[in-house]
């Protein structure tokens, strides 16, 4: 287990290529489920647990579908399991970093405060979000053999699609 954590940490630090991620359906399911749970834990100060789990699962599914289509169009669908395992594992590691920051941010905001307040933990979460985008783009760039700009656009497109789906289902906040 620690060797997998180390592998995903190395992906986050750009020390390992996605080709070193094992092609395992079991590992894919475990990393996907863990990404859902860690995403829900990050959202839980603001959301009910069921809503947070729904959002985490929706994100995992949207990324899985879009990246499967993109890899299939490039004729590289055999790389899907490794790619998604790498993305889910790396995202999990980075989400673990943000869990205490989310809780700290929630404690700094008074209950009667309206809107979003800028706090040091929120700035750290924003930096980790940018890091997450960079890691996901790097994994996708390697898997699809495309320029980094194209990988960034695919990842941002996935996020926009997810936002559109969520807002259409539950409305905007």
Q: pTM for the full model?
A: 0.89
Query: Per-residue pLDDT tens for 33-84?
Result: 999 999 888 876 666 788 888 888 988 999 999 999 999 999 999 999 999 9
Residue 90 has pLDDT above 90, yes or no: yes
- Ordered by start, the domain boundaries in the chain are 2-170
CA–CA separation, 145 and 158 (whole Å): 18
Give percent of the chain with pLDDT exceeding 90.
65
CA–CA separation, 134 and 166 (whole Å): 23
The whole-number pLDDT of residue 112 equals 62
Conformational region of residue 171, where left means phi above 0, alpha means psi within -120 to 50, and beta covers everything else: left
The whole-number pLDDT of residue 46 equals 62
Give percent of the chain with pLDDT exceeding 70.
92
Mean pLDDT, residues 88-93 taken together: 97
The whole-number pLDDT of residue 45 equals 60
């Amino acid at each position: 287990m620690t060797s997998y954590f180390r592998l995903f940490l190395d992906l986050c630090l750009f020390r390992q290529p996605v080709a070193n991620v094992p092609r395992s359906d079991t590992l894919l399911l475990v990393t996907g489920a863990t990404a859902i749970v860690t995403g829900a834990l990050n959202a839980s100060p603001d959301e009910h647990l069921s809503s947070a789990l729904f959002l985490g699962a929706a994100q995992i599914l949207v990324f899985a579908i879009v990246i499967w289509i993109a890899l299939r169009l490039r004729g590289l669908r055999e790389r899907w399991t490794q790619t998604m395992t790498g993305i889910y594992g790396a995202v999990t590691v980075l989400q673990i970093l943000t869990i205490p920051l989310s809780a700290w941010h929630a404690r700094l905001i008074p209950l009667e405060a309206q809107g979003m307040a800028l706090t040091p933990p929120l700035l750290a979460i924003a930096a980790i979000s940018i890091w997450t985008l960079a890691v996901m783009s790097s994994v996708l760039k390697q898997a699809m053999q495309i320029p980094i700009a194209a990988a960034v656009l695919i990842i941002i497109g996935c996020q926009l699609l997810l936002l559109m789906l969520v807002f259409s289902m539950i409305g905007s906040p």
